[in-house]
Amino acid sequence: MNSSRRIGSHGRRVALAGLTSLTLFACGSSSDGPSANTGGMASHVGGAGPSVAGSAGTPSTSAGSSGSAAMPGASGSVGSGGSNAAGGSAPAATGGNPSSAGSSSGGGGNVAGGPSNSGGTGGDMPLVYGVENTGTDCPAPPAPPAFSALTTAPELPDPFLLSSGTRIASRDQWRCRRAEIASQMQYWVSGPKGAPPADGALTATFSGGKLTVVIKQGSTSITLSSTITTPSGTGPFPLVIGMNTPTGSITSNIFTSRGVATMVFTSSQLVPDSLNVPRGGGDYFKMYPDTNAGAMIEWAWGISRLIDGLYKTQDQNQIDVKRIAVTGCSFQGKMSLYAGAFDKRIALVIPEESGGGGEASWRVMASQTGTEDLEAAQGTAWYATNLKQFKNPDAKKLPVDMHELVAMVAPRAVLTIANTSIDRLGSEAGYVSMKAAGEVYKALGISDRIGYSQNATGTHCAFPSVQAADVGAFVDKFLVGKSADTAIAKTPYKTDLSKWYTWTTPTLK
């Protein structure tokens, strides 16, 4: 591939050992938290694992039936953590989020005061949660294998396969399967997300429209701040957190005309240079010294801490903390996806043109040319140190792939925006991932909560009007609470999906 390709004013070259150069996209200005049991995880070794009864090929398209089993609420209890293993240090054990006000009930259902649930068959599954991580009480998965022990598995890993070797059979099992995926993702792809601050270690103030959050641990202090812009009238209002700009690259009127407040996450408050990220540099790594962590998970941690601040000041800030969305474009699209995947207080995730390291499958991109593939994406410390062990041929050895990062958002809502006119973005690989992640939503009976809008729209991060209605429908339904048709699956690709996943989709009870 031509790794020195530049695209308009949004490309930036970064030296990368072993490659001529790397073009990184940068638009705009510049958890669920990890499972309590993040020390280890099952590897995807020797294939995708057993299938349920049925022939191999494209997964079944029949939706999972609705049932009485609801997504359990979070307990917030402290997990035990897993053991370390060869191949890198394991993520640290983390406890529940201290900002647990308004947590969802164990019986499931929508979080009180959250958006109304319309459409889909999984109506008793929450649209959002009141805690960052609902998987803290799940069993610890096995320790991860050494890189040398991984075997080739060409197809996308089975998102329904537990580390025990059995597949989940009920919707309430998804919570702990998701915790296993989160553990794998942190070990191999992102690095560990820092634990929520202990009680009293995070303080928040809101004054003059500005939220300020201070996190202290030992002699280290981190301050995050953001100005919130609210509509006229009386709140509480839904909120979109844009990565480095109020609404990412999406036209702001799509949100503001619907009465949605805006807020900026400024990535430089944690990492001064987003495109030349130092490995292990900055105050974050003084507080959480595991340098397997990459910037994407560090930024996700920062967004979660701002959400902590929103909870602590909700009697002042006019924000409905049960109606929060995140969005961004390019590397900021990746940022929004990691934030939404790892924090269950985020109701709607809208990554735009996120490319490699976003929703696009590493495996699929490794089979293509000109994309931001596994090797091209590692020119800066956005991802785990452990990921650097993998070159393109090794993509088939990854125990996880990016369809599982998208699936971690479930049962909350996600809409991905793709620009098919730029090869580097790997939109076809994104399509394959979204179809695979959609099988999780289908099995849960909530297919209306996932969508993708893929169009040839020209300039990188220049949001086109043709995609405005798609975003508006998801905002209406999952932030504003209005009825809207969110059966959005727009793509030019006719990819043979049976090549990429041979597991079948269970009907979860």
Active-site residue numbers? 330, 460
CA 145, CA 400: separation in Å to the nearest integer?
Answer: 13
Tokens 């030019």 -> residue: 492
> How many Å apart are CA 488 and CA 493, to the nearest integer?
15
**Strand 11-16 relative to strand 202-207, pairing:** unpaired
Q: Interior CA angle at 461 toward 459 and 463, to 5°?
A: 90
Give Rg (Cα) of the chain: 20
Residue whose token pair is 């940068």: 26
Q: Which two tokens stand for residue 497?
A: 């999906």
Match 């979080």 to its residue by tokens. 111
Bridge partners of 349, per DSSP, are: 326, 414
Q: How far apart (Å, rounded) are the C-alpha atoms in residues 296 and 358?
A: 10
Bridge partners of 222?
Answer: 215
Handedness of CA 139, 297, 409, 360 (dihedral sign): negative
Q: Which amino acid is at 315?
A: D
**Residue 70 main-chain phi, psi, to 5 deg:** -105, 160
User: How deeply is 219 buried, as exposed, middle or buried, from its count of CB atoms within 10 A (0-12, 13-18, 19+)?
Assistant: exposed
DSSP letter for each residue of 411-431:
TSEEEEEEETT-GGG-HHHHH
Please report where in the chains the tokens 């909560």 appear, as a residue: 449
Cβ–Cβ under 8 Å, residues 303 and 191 = no
The DSSP bridge pattern shows strands 450-455 and 489-490 to be parallel
Task: Judge contact between 211 and 317, C-beta under 8 A.
Answer: yes
Distances 303 to 69, 99, 286, 330 between C-alpha atoms, Å: 31, 14, 18, 17
d(CA 355, CA 347): 22
